[in-house]
Amino acid sequence: MIRTKAELEAQERTTLAPWAQKSGDSAGRSHPEPSHPNRTEYQRDRARIIHSRAFRRLEYKTQVFLNGTGDHLRTRLTHTFEVANITRTIARSLALNEDLAETIALAHDLGHPPFGHTGEETLDALMRAHGGFDHNAQSLRIVDVVETRYPKFPGLNLSHEVREGLQKHAKFYQGTKGAAHPQPSIEAQIANLADEITYYSHDLDDGLDFELLEPMQLAELVVWKESEADVRRDFPRLKGREFRAYVIRCIIDRQVADVVQTSAALIEKSGVQSADDVRRYPRPLIAYSKPLLKANQQLRRFLYANLYYHPRVAGANTRACERLGDVFKAYLKKPSLLGGATSRRIKADGLHRTVCDYISGMTDRYLLDEHERLFPSV
């Protein structure tokens, strides 16, 4: 039996919550295309993202630790898969559109430059007089402009709802008339919060694994103490790395369960009855409970104070970003280094933005190799 697009859309209408974004109700694409006989619009979008060059490059981009410094440390790609997994779990639990939520999660970090947040800060400074740089805005720019896979239009021509979900920290829009709404789809809200759950917990995991953090430092963290107590009670003989890894697992499980329970209560209280009701609602409907929100804020402060700016992390990233600045300035001085396909965008987008696009798409190792080529060691 072959399942058709129409059957898949009909199944969504009978199985998903009224406020879920249905594939059959998509506002469409900027460039009209024939529909696929066996896939919904969001399933097509997911495939387009996974097959993009920008997605493949995430494997060699820094999450926290400079790429290549440890075999088990997370990269942007492994982080993205972890976010997508948690996103699907929450969406499934709340009877929401898993395909849309996962697709947004898979695309949410496409705009990250090499060398993590230090690389983003460096590019933003270099672009200060030319519109700045923000990885969220760059993710949207990649799928709209930078990726070139189709002869009839630039970008990936993703559906409106996926593009909406990439506009974090900005105004969100629904419909073809551009009416502004305070919130994106509820599926986009899930992807946003799943990103937080993932990087808080897994950055903590990598920090412990890389021995930049010590378990005794975590004693005052609420999220750690609660899960640590559970693990010690249930597995008293567990020790060392296995013990720490299982505590991290329990932290994630506790956070996901909290978000599901809290969000279900918020949705019921809100009275929303459609996907557009969600967009018009003044506050997000996917959220932590107040105690967990406070605990996560404590964890965030801890990670910034003890991990993200740790000398072993910041020192390596800072040296790498100095090379990023050198390469940026070299391209400005000699745009022909960009190559033909990229250079053709200079007239429309300006030299600085074109150079920024090119460098932000680089992997860590490619940028370091390019620096060596442009500035060979004496």
The pLDDT of residue 170: 60
Return the domain boundaries, the chain: 46-314
Record: fold of 46-314 = Hypothetical protein af1432 (1.10.3210)
Query: What is the pLDDT at residue 1?
Result: 80
The predicted-structure confidence for 159-184, as pLDDT tens digits, reads as follows: 999 999 998 766 555 544 566 889 99
Bigger pLDDT: 209 or 114? 114
**By mean pLDDT, which of 64-73, 305-314, 345-354 is the weakest?**
64-73
The residue that leads in pLDDT, 310 or 351, is 351
Name the helix (H) or strand (E) containing 172. strand 172-174
- Averaged pLDDT, 182-207: 93
Decide if pLDDT at 53 tops 60: yes
Q: What is the pLDDT of residue 169?
A: 60
Q: What is the pLDDT of residue 70?
A: 54
Quote the pTM value.
Answer: 0.93
**213: its two tokens:** 């953090």
Under a CB-based contact definition with an 8 Å cutoff, are residues 159 and 42 in contact?
A: yes
Q: Is-contact 334 85, C-beta < 8 A?
A: no
Confidence of residue 206 (pLDDT cuts 50, 70, 90): confident
The CA R_g of the chain, rounded to the nearest whole Å, is 22
- Minimum mean pLDDT among 123-132, 147-156, 263-272, 338-347: which range? 338-347
Determine the average pLDDT of the residues in 340-363: 92
Strand partners, 148: 155
Strand, helix or coil at 179?
strand
Q: How far apart are CA 204 and CA 213, in angstroms?
A: 8
The pLDDT > 90 percentage for the chain reads: 75
DSSP class of residue 173 equals: E
Look over the chain and give the mean of its residue pLDDT values, rounded to a whole number: 91
Rounded CA-CA distance 18/16 in Å is 7
Helix axes 76-93, 240-270, angle to 10 degrees: 50
Please, which pLDDT band fits residue 378 given cuts at 50, 70 and 90?
A: very low
Indicate the range of 65-79, 121-135, 213-227, 275-289 predicted with least confidence. Answer: 65-79
Q: For 246-256, give one letter per residue: b (16+ CB within 10 A) or e.
A: bbbebbbebbb
For 112-130, write each residue's pLDDT tens digit.
Answer: 999 888 899 999 999 999 9
**Are 42 and 162 within 8 A, CB to CB?**
yes
Query: Does residue 7 have a pLDDT over 60?
Result: yes
What pLDDT sits at residue 171?
57
Closest CA to 98 of 29, 11, 228: 11
Q: For 11-37, how does the pLDDT look when each residue is reduced to its tens digit (9 = 90+)?
A: 999 999 999 999 999 999 999 999 999
Q: What secondary structure letter does DSSP report for 66?
A: P
67-87 tens-digit pLDDT: 555 555 778 899 999 999 999
Nearest to 204 by CA among 255, 259, 252: 252
The pLDDT of residue 232 is 94
Instruction: Compute the average pLDDT of residues 132-137.
Output: 94
Phi, psi of 179 (to 5 degrees): -70, 125
**CB-count exposure of residue 351 (10 Å: 0-12, 13-18, 19+):** middle
Read off the amino acid at residue 194.
A
